[in-house]
């Protein structure tokens, strides 16, 4: 894919400064720019690189002022970072614009596949599956019986979706993720597995990272509400509900039947025990271990067991000085004998 600076400026509603006909065919960091690449400058800390970058085109803010000659052609926009993000999105759409059904895939006779779909090699589509328009199913993906995948979804290579699950519009599921595996429930005294007959329901605009596991419900549904974003290596247990627009970083574990509110942020390696309710707009810092309900909205928590981050920071001063504090107490106790 090759574009001129003029075409890029028109796409981004920008203004060209330099050669409008210079061509680019790849993206690069400004400090690693090569001839034929396009980059951007948004962070002032990287300004030094614009004067010697080999990138052919650089996107900059409208108010950028050069203090030395610049070889690259500039495209001035309102916000360089946002413009470059839009460019990345367009580039990704073109790169991933696959269509057609491979002869080496298997689609059950009762399945229905919408228009403009892509089904890759060795993908398996089960009985009574409904796949919407513009859906992309990459090679070696499995979609179990009675599953619904709505329009404009992408399932990357090796995704496994068990039977009876529902995935909304514009969802992205990355490689290695398993959706709808059994929840971890056993009748311990009887030494029997409790059958898991529910499903997973994922609403619109959800993205799930690589190698995640989202368990089906015992009864009812495990639910990811609209706009949820999950990093790699996240485990969502049976009957969990994740509120809309909540972000979950890598290595988080949410135990069964817990309800996470909307607009929450869970940092890496957070663990939440089962049957809890976490209020909207909650922030859980890295490695927080949550063992109690959080009812107050908009609070941040840290530690294991987790408590309010303001209290944690005060307590941490004492944690670090614990040895000194103990020595002082021992001296006082000796002095009183």
By annotation, the residues acting in catalysis are 238
Phi, psi angles (nearest 5°) of residue 179: -120, 125
Say what angle helices 309-320 and 322-335 make with each other, to 10 degrees. Answer: 60
Does residue 3 contact residue 24 with C-beta atoms inside 8 Å?
yes
Q: The dihedral of CA 242, 248, 250, 255: what is its sign?
A: negative
Phi, psi angles (nearest 5°) of residue 76: -90, 130
Distance CA 289, CA 240 (A): 17
């Amino acid at each position: 894919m090759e574009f001129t600076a003029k075409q890029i400026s028109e796409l981004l509603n920008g203004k060209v400064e330099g050669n409008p006909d210079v061509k680019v065919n790849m993206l690069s960091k400004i400090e690693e720019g090569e001839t034929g690449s396009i980059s951007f400058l948004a962070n002032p800390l990287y300004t030094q690189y614009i004067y010697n970058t080999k990138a052919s085109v650089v996107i900059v803010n409208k108010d950028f002022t050069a203090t030395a000659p610049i070889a690259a052609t500039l495209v001035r926009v309102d916000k360089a970072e946002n413009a470059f993000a839009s460019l990345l999105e367009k580039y990704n759409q073109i790169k991933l614009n696959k269509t057609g059904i491979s002869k080496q895939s298997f689609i059950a006779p009762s399945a229905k596949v919408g228009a403009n779909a892509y089904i890759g090699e060795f993908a398996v589509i089960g009985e009574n599956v409904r796949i919407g328009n513009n859906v992309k199913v990459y090679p070696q993906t499995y979609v179990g019986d009675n599953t619904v995948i709505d329009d404009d979804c992408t399932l990357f290579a090796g995704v496994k979706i068990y039977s009876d699950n529902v995935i909304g519009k514009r969802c992205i599921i990355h490689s290695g993720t398993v959706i709808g595996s059994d929840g971890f429930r056993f009748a311990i005294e009887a030494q029997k597995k409790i059958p898991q007959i529910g499903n997973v329901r994922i609403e619109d605009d959800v993205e799930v990272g690589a190698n995640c596991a989202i368990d089906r419900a015992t009864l009812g549904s495990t639910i990811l509400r609209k706009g949820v974003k999950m990093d790699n290596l996240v485990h969502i247990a049976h009957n969990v509900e994740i509120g809309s627009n909540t972000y979950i970083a890598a290595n988080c574990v949410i135990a069964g039947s817990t309800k996470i509110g909307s607009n929450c942020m869970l940092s890496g390696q957070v663990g939440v025990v089962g049957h809890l309710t976490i209020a909207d707009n909650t922030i859980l810092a890295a490695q927080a271990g949550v063992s109690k309900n959080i009812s107050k909205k908009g609070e941040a928590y840290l530690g294991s067991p987790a408590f309010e981050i303001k209290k944690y920071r005060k307590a941490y001063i004492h944690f670090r000085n614990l040895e000194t504090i103990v020595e002082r107490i021992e001296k006082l106790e000796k002095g009183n004998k």
